[in-house]
Amino acid sequence: MNRSLILRTLGLVLLGEAGAMLPSLGIALYLKESAYFAFGISILVLALIGLILSRNRITTNDVGYREGFIIATASWLLLALFGTLPFMICEAIPGFIDAFFETMSGFTTTGATVIIDVESLPKSILFWRSITHWLGGMGIIVLTLALIPSLKIAGMKLFRAEVTGPAKSKVLPRVAQTSRELYKVYIMITVIEIAALKVAGLNWFDSFNHSFSSVATGGFSNYNESVGALNNAAAEYIIIFFMLICGMNFALHYHALRGNFRPLWKDTETRLYLGITITAWLFISINLMIAMDYQTETALRQSAFQTVSILTTTGFATTDYNLWPTFSQGVIFLLMFIGGCAGSTGGGIKNVRYLILVKAASRQISKLIHPKAVIPIRVGRDVVPDELVESVQSFFFLYFGLLLVCTLMITAMGIDLLSAITAVAATLGNIGPGFGIVGPASNYAAIPPAGKLLLTICMLVGRLEIYTVLVFFSARLWRS
């Protein structure tokens, strides 16, 4: 095991987190908020530990997937652990478990919160919450690879351990180049949304916070009533658009921004993703107009917002869908188990996995009729290797197995079944709000401490898509 590379990379990650706190420190100083002390101390602690770890010299180029799995999982754990410092020092969230839950929710772009009155917090703290979203959206390791070319020796191993979905394609020959280009697209989309929201009438602070959250498909808002508090239809349409495109594969955006739209139009997963979005949007809109006598524009806008928000695992809300008809709630519930596209900032199971699973089932039926037939599974024009098909099937088993086990554990803590299963689904899928006591008009404050800790683990497992975390905690990984 290349311990020097692991420690050096973790040190660089912590130094990056210290740098990410500087804007919040600047806001605290400018607004004369007492939180400046919390950020100052946090930055010093992170800088000191980061410098000590980053001084390890890489003595060998012998790097494998073992180092990739360790660095990916350890990076996210350390970021969440040290990210609690500003919350705890300024007593915005005094308890460690609550602060750990909130920070992990931020970095994994889950958007679940334990804060009852968000609007009472200092603006610097709210900005830090949004920054955790933006950093976690594209991926901590992807950012590290983009900024530190010297880590190219472990590039693809780290890239595959963190990037979401079964397809980890590169847009350029070198992983460091791919990471930089993806982040350029990410930054460009963020800047465009900030400008669009400002033109729509939001102030700069609201524009930055909601852009960071929607581009990262995170869901943290600086208002108790989420985006609904803005009372701005134009802003809602803008956020819908950016949530939708950020639920797509960013490699396709890279090609589109260079004038090559063919991959975007021809991508099978994107077609499925858009098809599910439009179908769910129309079903809910019609149901709201018939069952609740909504005006056409209101029904279309609110159903579009909630549909895209849940499908992309953003978790923003403009209304309480707990009050919607049962059919609409059922559609929202099903969307919680789909997610965005592979290579997007969205969480969840991913559309491409459903494509592979359905085609695998279809092949099995065909082979029952023609036992000797050789039937490859294709997604678009690409043949899917049998090894990947088995991986997807195992992923579904593990995902829903974890969902059931964790739901039972939450119900054992006195939480009703609907709230329990949607809380686990919302954290495992990095969505945020669920139903019942964890619905869009509520938060996770009512969950017992042990339940919050369990759901925090679900966030990490969901963000790194199960295998990376399971391998990290496997005894075989740590054996010589």
Annotated binding site: 109-110, 218, 313-314, 430
For 47-100, the DSSP string reads HHHHHHHHT---------HHHHHHHHHHHHHHHHHHHTHHHHHTTSS-SHHHHH
For 14-42, the DSSP string reads HHHHHHHTHHHHHHHHHTT-THHHHHHHH
Query: In this structure, are residues 452 and 114 in contact, taking their beta carbons and an 8 Å threshold?
Result: yes
CA 463 to chain centre: 6
Distance separating alpha carbons of residues 57 and 46, to the nearest angstrom? 19
Task: Report the sign of the C-alpha dihedral through residues 142, 45, 69, 270, in that order.
Answer: negative
Rounded to 10 degrees, the C-alpha dihedral 355/358/363/366 comes to -140
> Each residue of 111-131: b (16+ CB within 10 Å) or e?
bbbbbeebeebbbbbbbbbbb
Distance separating alpha carbons of residues 425 and 17, to the nearest angstrom? 28
Distance separating alpha carbons of residues 247 and 213, to the nearest angstrom? 13
Query: In this structure, are residues 209 and 123 in contact, taking their beta carbons and an 8 Å threshold?
Result: no
- Which parts are annotated binding residues for K(+)? 109-110, 218, 313-314, 430
Distance separating alpha carbons of residues 52 and 308, to the nearest angstrom? 44
Distance separating alpha carbons of residues 379 and 267, to the nearest angstrom? 9
Return the number of other C-beta atoms located less than 10 Å from residue 445's C-beta.
Answer: 14
